[in-house]
Amino acid sequence: MASLSRSAVIQAPVERLFEYVTTPEKLPEWLPAMVEVRDVKGAGEGQQYEWTYKMVGLLLKGQSTVVEYVPNKCSVHQSIGTINSTWTIGVEPHPEGSRLTIFVEYDVPVPVLGKLAEQIAVSRDARDFALAFENVKETLEL
């Protein structure tokens, strides 16, 4: 199982940051590999949505369910599909705005990608993950 973790201070109020990063329809705006989000149902804990994610040139499809939701604090999304993952998104007040922390655990689909492609995929995911934080900063710090 691979994992990524990153934290950054975003110059935006907690409420605005949390709403932006936990709204499924907005994921393709800031998460570079997220191609599409569709069929969003519900809100908060229990919310479900389908997605298409691009990894090493392959389009992977799946579904996510929000399994934990504390408004303006934490949201945990469990995904199943071609790639299984758990995304933990945390937001907390900071003197300069808000601190965003995202921790992702995921299974790289080795049978689909192959062992060499697995290493490439993890490396590219780390790069895309860093870019995702830059995208959030650019959008919310205007």
What is the pTM assigned to this prediction? Answer: 0.89
> 74-100 pLDDT, tens per residue?
999 999 988 889 999 999 999 999 999
pLDDT at 110: 60
* Residue percentage of the chain with pLDDT more than 70: 90
pLDDT at 118: 63
pLDDT at 58: 80
Output the six-digit token pair for 83: 């790639």
The amino acid sitting at 119 is Q
Q: Report, in angstroms and rounded to the nearest whole number, the Rg of the chain calculated over CA atoms.
A: 15
CA 120 remoteness from chain centre: 19
Distance CA 55, CA 73 (A): 29
> 128-137 pLDDT, tens per residue?
989 999 999 9
Output the six-digit token pair for 21: 């990063």
CA angle 20, 15, 90 (to 5 degrees): 70
